[in-house]
């Protein structure tokens, strides 16, 4: 694995592991903000009764996927999971458009943009194929090769 990936993945993952651990320990402090995004969703999910439980699940995703990304295990899947988890977290925690105090609004907007930047980095990590062709490219190429081979085997084709 190139040096850049060895450094970048743990750096990107560290914030998720740290924040996820905090949310696992203190889900009740995050639940009121999450309520604004999830509404009554927890009551509709099996085994869930409140938003704090959903916050714990999200925190578990962040810790687990963060550790995997940091270690370079399933990096594309873990990066995608983190990106998917970060969007509702950002919408819940950094609602700058609701702030009336200019200083608080600017602070929340900064955090919102930082998180969206992290989503961008995670999406890049999710599509990083280490310089190898993607699965879709390889599948299309294999299909063309097989079609060509089949065409050569048919009578009247050369």
The three-class DSSP label of residue 93 is helix
Tell me the pLDDT tens digit for each residue of 66-100. Answer: 999 999 999 999 999 999 999 999 999 999 999 99
Tell me the pLDDT tens digit for each residue of 109-132. Answer: 999 999 999 999 999 999 988 877
pLDDT at position 72 is 93
Do the Cβ atoms of 112 and 96 come closer than 8 Å?
yes
Cα–Cα distance, 63 to 51 (Å, whole number): 18
Q: In terms of DSSP H, where are the helices of 26-156?
A: 27-38, 41-44, 51-71, 75-93, 102-126, 135-153
What the block records as the tokens of 21 is 């651990």
pLDDT at position 26 is 96
Tell me the pLDDT tens digit for each residue of 41-67. Answer: 888 899 888 999 999 999 999 999 999
Which residue did the predictor score with more confidence, 138 or 77?
Answer: 77
pLDDT at position 158 is 57
What the block records as the tokens of 69 is 């990304």
pTM above 0.85, yes or no: no
């Amino acid at each position: 694995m190139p040096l850049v990936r060895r450094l970048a993945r743990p750096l990107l993952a560290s914030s998720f592991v740290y924040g996820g651990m905090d949310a696992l320990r203190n889900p009740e402090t995050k639940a009121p903000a999450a309520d604004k995004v999830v509404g009554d969703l927890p009551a509709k999910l099996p085994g869930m009764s409140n938003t704090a439980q959903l916050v714990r699940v999200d925190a578990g995703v962040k810790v687990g996927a963060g550790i995997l990304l940091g270690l370079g295990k399933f990096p594309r899947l873990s990066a995608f999971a983190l990106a998917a988890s970060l969007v509702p977290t950002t919408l819940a925690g950094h609602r700058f458009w609701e702030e009336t105090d200019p200083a608080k609004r600017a602070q929340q907007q900064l955090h919102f943009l930082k998180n969206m930047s992290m989503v961008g980095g995670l999406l890049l990590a999710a599509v990083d194929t280490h310089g190898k062709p993607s699965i879709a490219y390889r599948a299309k190429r294999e299909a063309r090769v097989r079609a060509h081979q089949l065409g050569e085997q048919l009578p009247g084709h050369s």
